[in-house]
Structures are given as C-alpha cells and as structure tokens.
Structure 1
C-alpha cells in the first residue's frame, strides 16, 4: 500500500528570502553528493534545510545520499530531521531508491522509519520491482522475507491506465532486463506467476523477447518455458513469441519455441503476418526451412515473390517444395461486410491470412473481441465465409457442451440466434452463431429518447413479442429452458430483429415446472425493463421480490401480463403460448376492433343483463378512466351521437361500460359518413382518441370477458403452435387457472 506523501516538492518553497539560506541549501546538496560529511554537518548547523528539494526532479539530500549508497550520510541526515518518507516528483521514496541500489541495511532502516514494503512511485514501481530490474538478488530476498508482493502488477496513473500501461510484475522486469539469476530466483524460490500478464496482455516471455539486448534471451526463455509460460501470448501489434524470435533472427530461439507442445506455428500478428512470412521477408533461409519442416503453412502471403526479390534461389526452391504458389492471390479488397457495427474489423480480418480451424477463420485478439465471457470471450469470425460471432470455451467445458447441445436443437427457429457449427482445436471449443450488432441493453440506451407517445408502446411491444416467441420456441419445439434470460443475452441483428442467445446455462426440460418458472420470472422482469427502456436497471429488478416488481408496473395492462408470468398456475408449460394473445401485444387497430366488435353484440345493443353483469365493475377504491365516461367525450361529439336516440330515450347513453362499448361501435359506424366530417376533423383517429381517453378500458374488457363466449372477438394473431405434449390442464386459458 502506498505511504502518505511527505512534503511534496510542489508544495514546498524552493527559495528563501534569505539568500544565504538558498546558497546553503544548494551547497548542502553538493556536499551530500561529494560525501563530505563535515561540510554537510556544518551547513545543517548553520540552518540549511535538511528536507530541501530541487525544483527539477524534487531531489532532496536524503534521496541523493541513498543514490550514492552512503549509509553514514543517510544516518547523519536522519539525525538532523530528514523525512524518511519524502517523495521526489516521480513519487519515489528513499525506501524505493534503496531497492534500486540494493542496500539491505538501508531497506531495513527505512522500514523501521515507517516505509511500507509495497509502497510504489507514480509509475507503480516498488522497491521489490526495482531490485529485480537492477539484479540485486540479496535485496530481493530480504524484501520477500519482509512481505513484498511477488506478483504485484505495476499500478500507474489513470491517464496511463487508459493507454493500457502498467500491470508489469517483477518477473517481467527481470526478464525484460536480461537478469537471468533474478528470473531463476523469482520462479524457483518465490513462486512468481509465469502466467501473469500486464495491462496490454503481455507475459514475461514477451518482455524477454522484446528486449533489444538479447544476450540472455535464450536462458530466460528456457526458464520461463520450463515453468509453463504461455507460448502463444501476444505482445505489441499482436506479435507472438515465435514471431519475435524470428525478428531477432535467432535460430536457436525459434527452435526452442517450436519444441513446445502447444505452439501455434501459423498464428499471425495484427497485420496478418505469420512467423514464416517474416522469415521470408527478412531473407532468413535457415529459419524459413526450420518453420517449413515443422509444418508452417506456405499459404500465408506471396512468399515466392519476396524470395525472388531477395535473389534467394535456395529459398525459392524451398518454398515451392513446401507448396508455396507462384500465383498467390490475397483476399479481394473490394469485399464488403454485412455488419455495420463490426464492419471495419471484419474487413481487416477478411483481408488477412489466418490459419483455418476446420471451416472457421478467427483471430483471438482484443481488436476482434466482441465481448468477454466467464470462459474465454466472443470474437468475430468467418464460418464457411459467413460472418459469425465465435464463442470460445475450453474443450471439456460443461457450459460449452450445454451451448452446443441447445443450439443444435434450435436450428431453424427465427427468434433465436442461428447456429452455424462448432470446431475444436488444441483444447478449445469454438461455437459459431449469427453475428448481431448489439445487446438489448445498448439498443434501449440508443433509443431511450427517440420513441414517444404511442410509439413507445409499439417499440416495447415489438421487442417483447420477439422475446416471448423465442422462449416459446425454446420451451416448445426445442424442449429446453434458458435459465439466464437477461438484457446482455438478448441481441439485435443488422435488420433490427431481436434474437435470444447464450445457452451455456440452458437445461433440457425434464418435467420440473420450476425450470420453466425460472424463465417466466426472468421474462416478467424483462417486461418491466423493456417498457421502462432500461431506466429501471435489470440488476435492480433481480434483487426485488415478485410482489415488488409488480408494483413497479406503469399500468394495469403490464401489471396483468407480469402477474400471469409470476403466477402461471398449473399451465406452466404453455402459459407463454397463451400470453402471446395478451392485450399488451395487440396493435392499436386490434384494440379498437375488439371494442367495436364487442359493442356490436346484440346483447350490448339490447342491454341484456347477462353481458352487463359481466361488465359491471366490482367494488373498488381505484377510479378508472372510463368512470363517468359521457362527460369525458367531446361535448359536441357526445351530443351528436346522442341525437340518434332522440326517438328512443330508453336507449340513451348512460355511464356504464356496456353503453361505452355501444358508443364506440356506433362512432366507428357513423364517423365516416359525409354529414359527420366535422366530427372526424375534431377527434381525428377514433382508435387513438378513445384509447387515450380510456387507457385501461381494453384490459378491463379482457379480464371481464376472457372466460365468456364474447372472448371470440379477441385477436389470435400471435399464437404460436402449441408443442405436441400432454398439457394436463385441458388447454385452459391462463385466466382460468
């Protein structure tokens, strides 16, 4: 942990009104550097500032004393009040500098004065890291005994973190600086993590091979490989250790790397170049021959052309013997991707050489990564030349097995992601699915301010209808439950179609209703998430009880839909099939048509008690929009419509639901007549006018009449085919359960 900053040089005066004091401070610094103990003592006695810091760099007398490794000078300055935790402008303390010079006694002294063994400067360097950089093994061992963190990654400033700087460990520092003995001690004695990576994803092997002075590269590489370093990791520009070894023109290094069991000999950097292509470009015949003999692909560029340009007949013959082509043609540059979101990256991937994994072309690099996952990430790829998203698992992953099993069962279902195929290679399973543009979460964020008025209802209805249909297909024809329905697992493709994805937690339905209930409850929360356009975070909804979620419902219609999802009764298996015909999914026109058709029933026209009893509101403290409805209609329109019954006063409109339905029917019949043009101009579209006036009327009619003969007027436009299985509930509607 970083110690408290002491006397930052930016906060201290660098000059004094007393000219002699200023001169004495300058003389003090010079005397320390010269190790003139007597002059230092005299100057301090005369009033020189023992904690004076130079403007440039923030050096103090104590920092200088540590730099020249003078223990006597350090003790003298401390006796005169030198701050043992004072920091230079770069944040370095005397303790950290003691790690640079490797003086164990000074390290012990500063620890006794309050230094933290893991304190770091502004660039993230600790005393332990500095000792590793400069090769001070005994100091390294001392710090390790005192609790220094061996695998601490370099912590740096935020602006550097944004550039992916930092994260390097002492092992990486020692490897980069060619300190063979330090690397050995760190690995053998201190358990340094050879698999650790810095913020750019580089491990110690990359650091060792990136060092310009490669005199010790062979020995360090051998140590790192012996301890299990990843031989396929990537450095700057996506270069692998094998490519870096070729660039160093070190045949022995190349040979050593090729002896590793899991070496990816045909892997490329971000320019699409393989180790063999680099060897040919650099005219390295021996290395090229070694690579070819080990199975490197010659279909990675115009190798023969490069060899001929170098007038290397031997290399030309070697390449031709291993299958290189004289007429090599790179991928067409005029190829255009279908995806707009991933277009640029897809063009780069399409135009570069990549070794094929079966029928799959993929590059596991951050530049082509779509998303992180718990087991390996999702990448852009091409499967049989088709743009795909590639989900990576370990080959023995149970999640990967579930994903493939479920995907194989859902082929041909339009509301689920398309499954193209899978490939296995060197311990990895690659699952290829349709490439989509964004998640539901991002889609809602982009459209949060766009849709207004009734457009909002249609926006939410279209999204949720696709999700419901997808889950119906999953439960029914596929026989699976999803078990992880959430916004991140619902995708939007290039045609704005909604696709349900991510089946690595899915399970084959074995008759346990709790499996399906889990999906239904997640759907209930998704309903609220979508209608709120993501303003109520899904993570928040997951922490709420079902009762609390229902209370969030913005209206009675959505509340009714969510209640059915949370309380499906015995109709668990097919509840979603029935809910596809819920009023929430009715269009504005369908709603209006239902109200008119019910209002056209002879029982309504004749005010028969049977239907009026069904429509009669029960005792409720909650007021409804259609209470006293006659007073809420435009008065001129109301008068005109009432005039039809001047000769039949017993049929005049009253404030009942039945009469409101009769009014809606009559309005629809007469509003387009020539004599009623003025009425059309006044209320515009009658369907929107009436639904804006009485927003809870449709759901009220639905709940009152759904178990009656009048339910025949409800649309069945969205119903999916029910799965072929025994329902056990007699095929009842959800409301009857």
Structure 2
C-alpha cells in the first residue's frame, strides 16, 4: 500500500517528506473523555516506523525517491535511518536505481555504506549497465560509469544472460563510453551474444547508432552473429536506419578494396558494390541477396531522415 510518504518521496517534495516523518514519530491518536482526539506529543519513536513501509511494487520511501531521481530526498531518508539494503519485489536496490540520477556523491554514500557495485537485477543488468543505458546527459553517464569501474564494477558479461555494460552503451549510443568499455574488455567479451539483446554491434545497428557501429566495425568485431535470425546489417535495413546501412556499405567496400577486388565506380547500388565478391563473408552474400527492389535500395534513394524509433530501456529499468 502506498502511503503519503511514498508519494512525497517519489515527487521530490522534501518539506512534505520531513513533515510526514516528524508526524509519524509521534503517537497522535489519543481519545479524551469528551470524545475528542488529543495529540500526544510525549511518546516518540527513535525512528519513523514508516521508513520501511512498502507499496505494491515493494518500494520503500527510499526506493520511491530514487525512482523519481530525487537523490536529495533519498539522502535525507538515509540520514533518518532508511535501510540502504532494501530491495523491491524484483530484487533491485538503491545502487541500481541511483543510475538514472547520475549523482556521484550519492553513489559515494552508497559505496561507503557497503553496497555491492555489481549487484544485478533479475534480468542480468548491473548498476554500471543501468548507467550505460542512459539516453540523456551521456557525458555525466560516462564519468559516473568510470567512477563505478574504479570502485570495482565489472565490465564483463554477466553469466546466464550474457548481458554486459557494453551492450547497453551501444543501445544508448554513448560513443565515448563504448570506447572506454572496449579498452577494458577482450574481443571475446565484446563479441558475446546476450540472450535478450544480441551482440553489441547488433544492438547498435538495431537502434540506429551509426557512430557506434563504425567504432565497432573499425575495432574488428564479429558482424555476422545473428540475433532472431538476422545479422546486424539486416537489422539496420529492416528498421530503416539508412545512416547505419551507409556505414556498413563503406565498411564492405573498404573490405573489397583490401581484397584486391575492383569497384565499379559508375554503379552506386549497394547490391552491385558487393556482388563481385562472395568469399568475404556471409554478410556480403546477404547484402547481395537483399539488393535490387529491396529495402536497401529504398534507403539509398530516400532523401528524408531515418525513421524515428522509440528508445527501449533495459530490463528492470525504473523508467517506463
């Protein structure tokens, strides 16, 4: 059951939070002989009994404050005695939810209280993954991610679901963080296919992150690993990301030249530019198969900007 304290914390109403906590530490229901309610200010609790009450999602007021990105309220609740180890019905705690706020000082507080920077949500994402998935203020997210790494956050894929912070950074299009994470990972880890989101390059291509796709291709990642029956290139074509398709075209043409193949300079169709070589990779073969009359051709001729797609958040993100 959500009580007023949950609502005030989630909306960042600091003065209301303080008032409600003060009221909840006093016994107020005393009935006089005349039938009137008397406020008994003589009996006080050392700590508000409402601090650990939970709503239907399992949120304590502390978790509700973090859900709303109000770390100032969350910090106040902690000082008042809120349990920093509380988790919701999904097993997710303050360290994970704090990722949306990008408040380094608050993370320092949580770490000083002994919270595990690698605590994962049931879906396999970690606090670092949650920070990497941020769609806004990417510079702050990068700085916070590096701080978490310095304090022991793992960049490696988590067992079972194979999710890594890199997959989420690729999804959000945070190029700087992608580069920082790749510096700390082996190529095997970079190429690991997650259960729900595929490989890093698949996720970047699917979401239309052209700059990230280029960084990954230049680094030599495996771009042929399929997810739900399609390669990263095919995903970009299907989703209508013409800028990503252009990156792949340039990469494949570069591969043709390095193989000594001759380019037909007069033909710009993507299927023609690739069709002369079938030994380079399966991706090139599919590139050819999807040629004339396909979605690729439409993207080549399309003068409008790439279609806009909704930004899906990772599993168990606090943002709907």
Question: Does the C-alpha gap of structure 1 residues 231 and 71 become closer, same or farther in structure 2, counting only changes over 3 Å?
Answer: closer
**Residue in 2 that maps onto 1:114:** 114
Would you say the 8 A contact 1:66–1:94 is kept in 2? yes
**Residue in 1 that maps onto 2:55:** 54
Question: Does the C-alpha gap of structure 1 residues 297 and 114 become closer, same or farther in structure 2, counting only changes over 3 Å?
Answer: closer
Query: Is 1:225 aligned with 2:208?
Result: no
- C-alpha separation between the residues in 2 aligned to 1:242 and 1:54? 44
Structure 1 residue 141: deviation in Å?
Answer: 0.8
Query: Which ranges of structure 1 fall in alignment gaps of 5 or more residues?
Result: 1-13, 15-24, 156-165, 263-284, 313-737
Alignment of 1:587-626 (within 5 A): none
**Residue in 1 that maps onto 2:17:** 40
Question: Does the C-alpha gap of structure 1 residues 91 and 198 become closer, same or farther in structure 2, counting only changes over 3 Å?
Answer: same
Structure 1 residue 121: deviation in Å?
Answer: 1.6
Alignment of 1:410-489 (within 5 A): none
Would you say the 8 A contact 1:54–1:60 is kept in 2? yes
Aligned to 1:231, the other structure's residue is in SS state coil
Query: Is 1:236 aligned with 2:238?
Result: no
- C-alpha separation between the residues in 1 aligned to 2:55 and 2:20? 17
- C-alpha separation between the residues in 2 aligned to 1:113 and 1:105? 13
**Residue in 2 that maps onto 1:86:** 86
Query: Which ranges of structure 2 fall in alignment gaps of 5 or more residues?
Result: 25-48, 257-267, 279-283, 299-320
Would you say the 8 A contact 2:192–2:199 is kept in 1? yes
Query: Is 1:67 aligned with 2:105?
Result: no
- Deviation string 1:410-463 (CA, Å, 9 cap, x unpaired) is xxxxxxxxxxxxxxxxxxxxxxxxxxxxxxxxxxxxxxxxxxxxxxxxxxxxxx
- C-alpha separation between the residues in 2 aligned to 1:44 and 1:245? 52
Structure 1 residue 154: deviation in Å?
Answer: 6.2
Structure 1 residue 171: deviation in Å?
Answer: 0.6
Query: Is 1:153 aligned with 2:145?
Result: no
**Residue in 2 that maps onto 1:196:** 192
Q: Which has the larger radius of gyration?
A: 1
Question: Does the C-alpha gap of structure 1 residues 287 and 81 become closer, same or farther in structure 2, counting only changes over 3 Å?
Answer: same
Question: Does the C-alpha gap of structure 1 residues 222 and 254 become closer, same or farther in structure 2, counting only changes over 3 Å?
Answer: closer
Aligned to 1:206, the other structure's residue is in SS state helix
* Higher fraction of strand: 1
- C-alpha separation between the residues in 2 aligned to 1:249 and 1:40? 46
**Residue in 2 that maps onto 1:103:** 103
TM-score (norm 2): 0.67
Question: Does the C-alpha gap of structure 1 residues 260 and 118 become closer, same or farther in structure 2, counting only changes over 3 Å?
Answer: farther
Alignment of 1:253-268 (within 5 A): 253-259=247-253, 261=255
- C-alpha separation between the residues in 1 aligned to 2:70 and 2:143? 18
Query: Is 1:144 aligned with 2:149?
Result: yes
**Number of aligned positions between the proteins:** 244
- Deviation string 1:357-376 (CA, Å, 9 cap, x unpaired) is xxxxxxxxxxxxxxxxxxxx
- C-alpha separation between the residues in 1 aligned to 2:241 and 2:169? 22
Would you say the 8 A contact 1:183–1:220 is kept in 2? yes
- C-alpha separation between the residues in 2 aligned to 1:34 and 1:201? 32
Query: Is 1:292 aligned with 2:275?
Result: yes
Question: Does the C-alpha gap of structure 1 residues 54 and 149 become closer, same or farther in structure 2, counting only changes over 3 Å?
Answer: same
Would you say the 8 A contact 2:253–2:274 is kept in 1? no
TM-score (norm 1): 0.31
Structure 1 residue 201: deviation in Å?
Answer: 9.3
**Residue in 2 that maps onto 1:455:** none
- C-alpha separation between the residues in 1 aligned to 2:146 and 2:78? 26
**Residue in 1 that maps onto 2:178:** 183
Structure 1 residue 220: deviation in Å?
Answer: 0.5
